Structure 1
């Protein structure tokens, strides 16, 4: 599939090597958490699935790794029914703790774009759209991790019940993903789109 618009946005830089976080209570229903430092290649997988297990949704946010390997990330969170108070959580434990055994559920997409052209630099660009749900981001990051891919930058958006997430991907070692890995990822994403269409067709079919 052809790539959609992926113009770079200005993001702040990491503020230090040592991992840390800061939590802000924005409104009665929303919180903001900022993380920084050397977090490792799979931190976003563990973090997002840990939040999903706690029934806390990521509404929007960004994360970026600088040339020294340090991360800066900021996410807006919405606790669901039965979720713990975010101020009671140790967010670094989510980042560095044992990954959640739950993979976040099946990946269901309405569209994706995959581009490794020179205009995105030495990375593989991925954009996905799909019906938002608890664990949407975590399930996708877990699947990428199984291919030894990790985002070096990501932009997360939720609008009108639809997730729109953008990633600039490299391998765990920092290399550009190979053509073989790209083909495997494309096949996985194609299956996720077909699953979405099959569900839509089943829902639209008249009851017998």
Structure 2
């Protein structure tokens, strides 16, 4: 029986592109859903995200029981979880975009504005850039991926950082702990690298 993938729909993600990329990577059963029951029943959970931290966290929290269902599936049942872009940033304790806003608090850290040391480098950080692993992980290999973000994850514990990129200084490209991984880059826009990354997620047994 095909594993059930819950792709969380909270009005703040590039849902169809992520769904299509997951299918291209080998997923057979995907529920694009705003129903907490689907998340509880899923074998894997994916949280996409496009937009501002506060708006995304507010939209996710506004779905009755969704955060609780995600905590049950991911934190207590230990099902593999992937956060993409803002979906990764929401894993932090807090975000500092347009004020201070509470995140899910799954991986300690703060999401703050990118401040490249080279004034010639623009924010947002947009386009292709490296993914450089900083410790071994089944999900992370070297390559190039597509980024689009103005804020970045600063992890409290360096051991939670899986990969970095460079944009006027090191920028977190991926984080992870246990059964959770977050990618700052967009695998659904990263062509062959992104599809291979999603295929590894579908095969991952943390």
Shorter-normalised TM range:
under 0.3
Q: Larger C-alpha radius of gyration, 1 or 2?
A: 1
What TM-score, normalized by structure 1, do the two folds share?
A: 0.25
TM-score normalised per structure 2 = 0.25
